[in-house]
Structure 1
Amino acid sequence: MIRTYEELLRTADAFTDSRTLIAGVELDLFTHIGKKPATAKEIARRADASPEGVEFLLNALTGMGLLAKSGERYRNTPLSRTYLDTASIQSITNFIWLAGQHWDDWIGLADAVRKGRRPKKRSPPDNPAFRRHFSKALHERSFYLAPKILRPIDLRGARTLLDLGGGAGSYAFALLVKYPELHATIFDRPAAVKVALAEAKRADLSEQVDVIGGDLFTDDYGGPYDVIFYSNVVHIYSPEENRRVLKKIKKALKPGGRLIIVEYFLDKDQAHPPDVSSFNLMMLLFTERGRCYTWQEATAWLKRAGFSRFRRTRVDGKIGILEATLKTARRKKPSPRRR
């Protein structure tokens, strides 16, 4: 929320820090430094980049607190060594790469508002290389969000889970650790589930995980499942497309099964929370028909699809959880016998 003149100026100028960080990651500067301090010339040679440009960038990153400098040598700070060096298992460089992919689109925001959505020129979502990179990026982000998001979710008694559009499986893996009796199936595009299989092996969860590579609208989800977990997918699609997916979800759930939707839900005024209305602009830029939806809109779809017993949870200023239970078919009363 912007309230003061200083905050207004800071927001207008915030892109400089963002672009500086992204450039450092795109050039792998933090990885080229690694564990040992190095000079700007040494780092430039490893990055195959201009010594002058690298020195300017290293100094800017030092000023931001992401590097430390002693004499002519630069070294990683504990923060950059943990999260920005690709050698670290906690690296989030794929997620920062994704922010860089979005950069050109954000520059065109005013044009998109003026002229409407247009076909995108960047790598298509079904490009396998893009999809692997994208899945890793979201996995890095979800890895840290999972404990907060999953805290209010209770899956005691459930045995089968479908993580629909689950990407690299971040949330499914966290649920498997929390509920060892659970078996998870991850459904996503073929390139994404390959990443999920590798991550499951790395997490020693391969025995509890199956994957299905397919298309959300045309391929079978398997099942029936006790629980379907559906995270951060609704905003990609139009209302009509979301209702189509809900029909398929209904077929894949056991009677009385639960659907858990994790989303960027808008309040009824569609302006709050502010983080979500800002995120909604991304849908204008990055999707063909998607947008963020209100709790009321999503609940109406679910009621129409045969769900009840709704529960809303706002996890933080941006993320919300909407849980619903699939109604069980009512038994017909036997007709009275004629004498």
Structure 2
Amino acid sequence: MESFNWNPGSLLEMSGYYWKTCTLHTGVKLDIFTAIGSEALSCNEINKKLKVDKRGLTMLLNSLSALELLVKDGKKYSNSLPALTFLSKESPQYLGFMIMHHHHLMESWHKMDKAIIEGKQTRRRSSFSDEERRESFLMGMFNIGMAAAPGLSKELDLSGCKRLLDFGGGPGTFAIHFCL
């Protein structure tokens, strides 16, 4: 196996990667991509739907454009094809729930040093501590399952099976497709 060539540039890139992650998480959490949909909208038009601070929204829209998740043309913003496909709730391929699950997990990762120093956990169990976290986890598992379950269920011959056990499959996505 070839080892990675760590250097100052790659180390600093990794160290600062959080800004991309946090920008993506914020865009999904605020539902920017669904608000824009297949339209090209100005910041004011987007803000009529979101009702947030305009200065902050402008910075977020420009950051999402820098990441090429949004396309900025003059004063209008539109979704890139990947954003429209994976980050808009209108899409059957929406991945936002899993992205929000990752967002909820960040609390424990940014406190990793404290957990190691003190030898104990730094947060409650993320998946079930409140309704938003539970929905993000379960629907995130659904997002992952829907990417594989329909095709896998057609490939497997389950004709001789009388019982199936769905163990750790999130909301039962695989079990539903296998039964179908």
TM-score normalised by L of structure 1 = 0.47
Equivalent position of 1:27 in the other structure: 30
Contact 1:163 / 1:172 at 8 angstroms: preserved in 2? yes
Contact 1:2 / 1:8 at 8 angstroms: preserved in 2? no
Alignment partners' CA distance in 1, 2:101 and 2:27? 14
Give the percent of matched residue pairs that are identical in Structure 1 and Structure 2: 29
Bigger helix share? 2
Report the structure number with the largest CA radius of gyration. Answer: 1
Q: 1:147 to 1:110 in 2, by over 3 A?
A: farther
The alignment of Structure 1 onto Structure 2 pairs a total of residues equal to 177
Alignment partners' CA distance in 2, 1:119 and 1:8? 26
Task: Specify the SS of the correspondent of 2:78.
Answer: strand
CA deviation after TM superposition for structure 1 residue 63, in Å: 1.2
Residue 59 (1) aligns with residue 62 (2): yes
Residue 162 (1) aligns with residue 165 (2): yes
Equivalent position of 1:89 in the other structure: 92
Alignment partners' CA distance in 1, 2:129 and 2:60? 34
Q: 2:144 aligns with which of 141, 144, 149?
A: 141
Alignment partners' CA distance in 1, 2:66 and 2:122? 39
State the AA in 1 paired with 2:168: G
Deviation readout 1:178-213 (Å, 9 max, x if unpaired)? xxxxx4xxxxxxxxxxxxxxxxxxxxx4xxxxxxxx
Residue 7 (1) aligns with residue 10 (2): yes
State the AA in 1 paired with 2:82: L
Task: Specify the SS of the correspondent of 1:90.
Answer: coil
State the AA in 2 paired with 1:164: F
Q: 1:98 aligns with which of 85, 97, 101?
A: 101
Q: 1:60 to 1:36 in 2, by over 3 A?
A: same
Structure 1 segments, 4+ long, off by >3 Å, are: 121-124, 126-130, 145-156
Contact 2:101 / 2:133 at 8 angstroms: preserved in 1? no
Q: How does 1:175-186 map to 2 (within 5 A)?
A: 176=178, 183=179
CA deviation after TM superposition for structure 1 residue 64, in Å: 0.9
Give structure 2 stretches of 5+ with no counterpart.
none
Bigger strand share? 1
Alignment partners' CA distance in 2, 1:92 and 1:63? 20
Equivalent position of 1:70 in the other structure: 73
